[in-house]
A = this chain, B = another copy of it.
């Protein structure tokens, strides 16, 4: 699991006064970019030089507590599932001032050749990042309890 902290920005709230629900995916992408900081050329190098991307095929977000301007979030990113050409990232967004879990995002990506826009084998350095942060199971106390009941 890697962790990053980020302030909510002035323009990220909507007319209801809370962070727009689509913005949470921007936060997820930002966390994914930092997740791959260890890859040579970082995530930007993958995209711009190697022309390999990780387009989403599925995203599920549970929104648990709203975010407001002036708050900060800590995003914890881990690999929930690792496949052959695909993987599922899990992001947990915590408000730093009260440690409340604001949202949990499951983001399934497929390694893709951006020139042809079709799936491609997962490069070794990308796989290593996913493996390093692969969740062990059972992951949460709740899940662990569920397994016994």
List the interface of chain A (C-beta within 8 A of B).
Answer: 9-11, 13-18, 20-26, 28-30, 33, 41-45, 47-48, 53, 55-64, 66, 68-70, 114, 117
Contacts and interface: CB of A to CB of B under 8 A. Distances in A.
Given A21-B56, A22-B26, A29-B22, A15 B61 contact: no
A142 to B, nearest CB: 16
A50 to B, nearest CB: 12
Contacts of A53: 16
Contacts of A63: 55-59
Contact of A22 (B17, B25, B58): B25
A59 B60 contact: yes
Contacts of A62: 57-58
9 contacts: A10-B44, A11-B14, A11-B20, A11-B29, A15-B70, A16-B47, A21-B29, A57-B62, A58-B63
